[in-house]
Structure 1
Amino acid sequence: MTRKLPWYGLGLLILAQICYPLTDDGARTAVTVTTVVLGYVLSVGHAALTRGPRVAAVLVVVTTGGGLFVEAAGVASGAPFGEYAYSGALGPKIAGVPWVIPLAWTWMAWPAWLAAVRLVRPTALRVGVAGVGLAAWDLFLDPQMVAEGYWTWSNPSPSLPGVPDVPLGNYAGWLVVAILMMTVFSGLAGPAALVIGPDAPMYALYLWTYFSSILAHAAFLGLSASAGWGALGMGLVALPLAVTLILHRVRT
């Protein structure tokens, strides 16, 4: 029963995400917050169930605490993401940052880390792959959230073609922060163990996020450019992960 809990959590998360493009503007904020909370509980809960409470605690301290720290620094100073500000749509703020934002860092950091553990063995490479896997998610996230009015940049130029509201420096900042997070997490969490069966829900979460984001941006949200950029960027990790899982399935 315990092993099935992450699958149940993933099912609820997918249901919430399916509702997102089908709801109107007034309900989307509630769906957004619900989705992030479900993703956070899923990732932290999976870490605790499969790696123990110590690793789960490290995950929370490094990615939730670290996420709040860098977001608060970003809002106050403009570094490392550029000058931006949050609207009040996402609820109460901590140091200028909506409380739900740090949870999102943790939500995707854990499956990105496990994808890297699945793909490569050397620690330095795992940190790099996990950092790319987390940062590339922002190619979907920021254009979508800016379009919803949750935050804005004061000077979004230069930007990616077709995504004029998000500066290039933001993505660079995400990559630097993500790699630093993964470096600290790897050092504090200890040796990474590959457990393919129990980690399957997190692989599914990462791949679902990738493919569903492409579909949602291209077909439902009118964000075809970010669909393409996200497909390229996040695909650097998602597609090799999918291939390794398919090959593993064929061999067994």
Structure 2
Amino acid sequence: MKRTELATSGRDADNRGNMAQHRFLDRRDAGEQLASRLLSLHPWPSTTVLALPRGGVPVAYEVAYALRAPLDVFLVRKLGLPGHEEVAMGAIASGGVRVLNEEVVRRAGVTPQALAAAEEREKAELARRERAYREGRTPAPLEGRTALLIDDGIATGATLRAGLKALRAFSPARVVVAVPVAPPEVCHALRAEADEVVCLLTPPDFMAVGQFYRDFSQTTDEEVRALLAGADSPGLA
């Protein structure tokens, strides 16, 4: 993997003076700190780093660079419960994977028509992102490997939980979640669904992911493409 340098607004001396109130300068800085923690835990052989786009990509790029692991995006779209879209009734992912929370669907009385409509909407966005980000590249290998799933932080965890269920369909040997920041209760709950969870910060005063970043400006499609293009896969361990 070669180092990709992108212009970021959070890496000057003035920003470093704000670390007392913002733990991370930007997503790249968060990725460097997260990578340092991961390397201190144990070796990471046969690992594929997966980023939840878009914000998870700059974080995951730094982790993949440090671990000398292949980087890919894990394209997953939550199927939100009609009228309560923050509640995941399932998810779809690359490769035609669909998982449903049958209990949520049953209790909410979601009709097959409503489910199909939600799925069609999310399929369209999934296809758009597939074209925009992969640019014809083959997905990184997952079967029999450690899948290290990374985002820039977790708020409720609904999308990430849906992604975990979808990820299991690709038969990885282990699934690990690693994020710079998450509420302590969410981080704890994820341990029941992943083989390992690494949350760099679990602040009790958590309100939003962005409060812990000096620069939390939106990651663009162009930045995602540049980082993925710069992530040349090293020899797979």
Establish whether TM, by shorter chain, passes 0.5.
Answer: no
Q: Which has the higher contact order (CA 8 A, sep 6+)?
A: 2
Identify the structure with the greater strand proportion: 2
